[in-house]
Structure 1
Amino acid sequence: MKFQVKLIACLFTVAVVANAQAADKFIILQSTTSTQNSGLFDHLLPVFKAETGIDVRVVAVGTGQALKNARNCDGDALLVHALAAEQQFVAEGYGVKRTDVMYNDFVVVGPGRDPASVAGVKDAVKAFKTIAEKQALFASRGDDSGTYKKERELWNAAKVDVKTASGKWYRETGSGMGATLNLGVGMGAYVLADRASWVAFGNKGNFKIMVEGDPELFNQYGVIVVNPAKCPNVKADLARSFESWILSSKGQTTIAAFKKNGDPLFFPNSPQ
């Protein structure tokens, strides 16, 4: 009888430890609203979990905020899209390394009446300059996201100081991509968006893609494992498993298979 009690207690302890280990088998992924809102993670992460048993808990914010969160050791890995900021993050020792994962592009969308007459323009900088000259409404995310960083690059290249136009024709929303698109449609304002968010967006109204195809609108995503030397709480082994999988042929094939209305939203380009 005593042996049976000890055996049951032992089995109970093993079960508790196993459950605790399973519950702890997750990583926090700091990522962007575009990857989340497009539905990519709903497609991608169940496949990863089925193969590895690792759960991924996504924090979807702008790239700048994602990098800031990771600097505060709140996260195990990142999947973001602002190359210069990512490289700086790694150079400062917060990331182990940065690797290309996939890409798509940015597009300028606007109302069907096209008040700035930029539809079909292949030069994004020229389109931005024209929007400013005609003082056509433009809705900006106004945050530290990868999309906003790209937008500021384009305004700078067009030699337009949007600070002087803030609150006039230039409206900063301080919101994510979906909310900014909603506000843009409501105001009849042009918006710079990543293509995946635009394709997945459901409240297009009479809005259309006005500017696309310029190499300046290229949008690269990278994966980074947070450096455990900076953040000892990082689940480095699990994060490396995610990094290895998403860069592998299976991860890349799974990304390529994600489509809306038959069109791919992201194009894998891992160097592996």
Structure 2
Amino acid sequence: MRRTIPALVLAAVLLLVGCGSTAALTPSAAGPSAEKSLILATTTSTQDSGLLDELLPQFTRDSGWQVKTLAVGSGQAIELGRRGEADVLLVHSPAAEQAFVAEGTAGQRRLVMHNDFVLVGPGSDPAGIRGLDSVGAVAKIAAARALFVSRGDDSGTHAREKDLWKKAGITPEGSWYQATGQGMGATLRVASEKAGYTLSDRATYLAQRDTLALDVLSEGDPGLLNVYHVIEMTTKAGERVQPGGAQAFADWIVSPTVQQQVGEFGRATFGQPLFTPDAGKDEAGLGA
């Protein structure tokens, strides 16, 4: 049976493609090798950072599975899994993931890696947040009514941003608070063009830093840890789900060889790795 991509998701992915994403759109049942083709629903940060461009061709060589990628927000990726429209998820919204797995249609959820979130903004820093903790920083942005650009897309990044506003006791609203409804790379570009602040995962910021007029102004807060998990889907979510492909991908990405690659990714280009490999670690130590 041919698996189709819903119109709303297709529109979102086409928007991401227009903003530089290389997410593939072909349904998993297309082509002569459909039995070895799976759909990976993942956050835009793994796409925008370039990590998937490095890893996925190797996965195909190692396993024979072709991967069709849907790079959307973590909330959208989880919804694709819930509807049986993705075979495996790579996401970074722990609370939403835990609630989803508890529903009973997903298989294993395994720790893969982490990096962190950073608050970025113009070097002139009109709100004066440089060096503050994350909650204090968003409070000063709101007090100054300085432009804040939100993803507003139900992603893991958006969830963390909303948590910061909640901790600061602020409901962000007004002309100073703007949502793009787009992925991380596109949101960073909007913030740069408008000289605004935004919350970004460090990997996507570093991957695009040379094209942005944005500096890291608040970082290192323990509350800004950004943890990624891989979640295998099962046929309980839908008869078209391919659990064999899901397990093959999940086993592969947590394997020692690939975890080493994850830990080296970005070092040559940026002088630091963009992700820290975590497979097999105690999640409690990461707050995941």
Q: How does 1:166-181 map to 2 (within 5 A)?
A: 166=174, 168-181=175-188
Q: How does 1:30-41 map to 2 (within 5 A)?
A: 30-41=41-52
Identity value in percent:
45
Give, in whole Å, the separation in 1 of the partners of 2:211 and 2:142. Answer: 23
Partner-residue secondary structure (3-state), 2:228: strand
Q: Is the 8 A contact 1:77 1:225 kept in 2?
A: yes
Cα deviations by residue, 1:53-104 (Å, 9 ceiling, x for unpaired): 1111110000011111111111100000000111111101121121110000
In our comparison, the structure showing a higher alpha carbon Rg is: 1
Give, in whole Å, the separation in 1 of the partners of 2:212 and 2:88. Answer: 37
- 1:264 is aligned to 2:273: yes
Give, in whole Å, the separation in 1 of the partners of 2:274 and 2:114. Answer: 9
Amino acid in structure 1 at the alignment position of 2:237: K
Give, in whole Å, the separation in 1 of the partners of 2:163 and 2:270. Answer: 31
Cα deviations by residue, 1:153-211 (Å, 9 ceiling, x for unpaired): 0000000011xx23x11111111111111111111110100011101115644310000
Moved >2 Å (runs of 4+): 202-206
Match of 2:95 among 84, 92, 96: 84
Give the 3 Å change call, closer, same or farther, for CA 267–112 of structure 1 in structure 2. same
Aligned to 1:188: 195
Give, in whole Å, the separation in 1 of the partners of 2:150 and 2:220. Answer: 20
- 1:228 is aligned to 2:235: yes
- 1:93 is aligned to 2:104: yes
Partner-residue secondary structure (3-state), 1:74: coil
C-alpha RMSD of matched pairs (Å)? 1.5
Q: Is the 8 A contact 2:42 2:89 kept in 1?
A: yes
Give, in whole Å, the separation in 1 of the partners of 2:75 and 2:62. Answer: 31
- 1:47 is aligned to 2:47: no
User: Alpha-carbon deviation of 1:241?
Assistant: 0.9
Give, in whole Å, the separation in 2 of the partners of 1:75 and 1:230. Answer: 9
Amino acid in structure 2 at the alignment position of 1:143: D
Amino acid in structure 2 at the alignment position of 1:242: F
Q: State TM-score, norm by structure 2.
A: 0.83
Cα deviations by residue, 1:230-264 (Å, 9 ceiling, x for unpaired): 32211111210111111110121121121132321
Aligned to 2:19: none
Aligned to 2:144: 134
Give, in whole Å, the separation in 2 of the partners of 1:135 and 1:230. Answer: 44
Partner-residue secondary structure (3-state), 2:236: coil
Aligned to 1:209: 216
Q: Is the 8 A contact 2:147 2:178 kept in 1?
A: yes
Figure out how many residues of one structure are paired with residues of the other and give that number.
249
Q: How does 1:138-177 map to 2 (within 5 A)?
A: 138-162=148-172, 165-166=173-174, 168-177=175-184
Aligned to 2:262: 255
Aligned to 2:284: none
Partner-residue secondary structure (3-state), 1:229: coil
Amino acid in structure 1 at the alignment position of 2:221: D
Partner-residue secondary structure (3-state), 1:103: strand
Partner-residue secondary structure (3-state), 2:220: coil
Aligned to 1:75: 86
Q: Is the 8 A contact 1:93 1:227 kept in 2?
A: no
User: Alpha-carbon deviation of 1:271?
Assistant: 1.2
Moved more, 30-39 or 40-49: 40-49
Unaligned runs of 5+ in 1: 1-18
Match of 2:71 among 60, 71, 76: 60
Q: Is the 8 A contact 2:101 2:107 kept in 1?
A: yes
